[in-house]
């Protein structure tokens, strides 16, 4: 006779821990990686801004030498007077690059110093446009004559587009207006007037 052996099997069930350590560690590592990436991006942006400021401040101003005459063969042709005349800048209250630099370093301090005051400065027209938000005409004024300029600038809020007549981008002009609060890279001049 065969004996029947009956084995009782015991089944164990493992309760899952509501706080899975692997998941917690994974989330912590992800959070640390995100923080490190943000810190790196901020550091890179700040380095780029500092380098751009140094490049603008250290860039030598090159003035073209006046050429009184050109020689073509045996004929001497004098240059036109307009080309040899240096640009004459009108007298202004404040030098624009110094004014912009104050806003670049500390816009809150510059706002408290200038907002509500009438300032006149000399700069170059970057563009003339109409605002998308309120439909009012304005000119962007920058401290350099040519090239791409991406830093702070003056937003000369003019009464109407008739002010644009006879003006072109890159032209040097004196602007005068009441300084408003700094916003999005622009220093608004309310009731802005221009003179060449």
Query: CATH number of the domain that 164 lies in?
Result: 2.40.50.140
* pLDDT of 91 over the 80 cut: no
Q: What is the pLDDT of residue 86?
A: 56
144 pLDDT band (50/70/90 cuts)? confident
Q: How far is CA 88 from CA 85, 122, 139, 185, in A?
A: 8, 11, 21, 28
Count how many domains the chain has: 2
The token duo for 180 is 């408003």
Residues of the domain holding 53: 20-57
Q: Is the residue at 10 inside a domain?
A: no
Evaluate whether residue 2 is within a structural domain: no
Report pTM: 0.51
pLDDT reading at 48 higher than 80: yes
């Amino acid at each position: 006779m065969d004996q029947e052996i009956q084995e009782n099997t015991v089944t164990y069930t493992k309760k899952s821990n509501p706080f899975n350590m692997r998941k917690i560690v994974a989330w912590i590592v992800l959070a640390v990686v995100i923080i490190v990436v943000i810190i790196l991006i901020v550091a890179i942006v700040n380095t780029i801004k500092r380098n751009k400021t140094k490049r603008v401040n250290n860039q030598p101003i090159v003035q073209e030498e006046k050429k009184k005459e050109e020689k073509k063969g045996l004929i001497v042709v004098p240059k036109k007077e307009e080309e040899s005349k240096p640009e004459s800048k009108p007298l202004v209250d404040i030098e624009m690059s110094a004014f912009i630099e104050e806003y670049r370093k500390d816009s809150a301090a510059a706002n408290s110093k200038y907002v509500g005051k009438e300032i006149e400065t000399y700069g170059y027209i970057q563009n003339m446009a109409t605002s998308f938000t309120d439909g009012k005409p304005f000119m962007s004024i920058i401290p350099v004559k040519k090239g791409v300029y991406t830093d702070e600038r003056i937003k000369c809020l003019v009464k109407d587009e008739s002010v644009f007549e006879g003006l072109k981008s890159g032209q040097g002009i004196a602007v005068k207006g009441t300084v408003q609060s700094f916003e999005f890279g622009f220093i608004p001049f309310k009731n802005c007037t221009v003179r060449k």
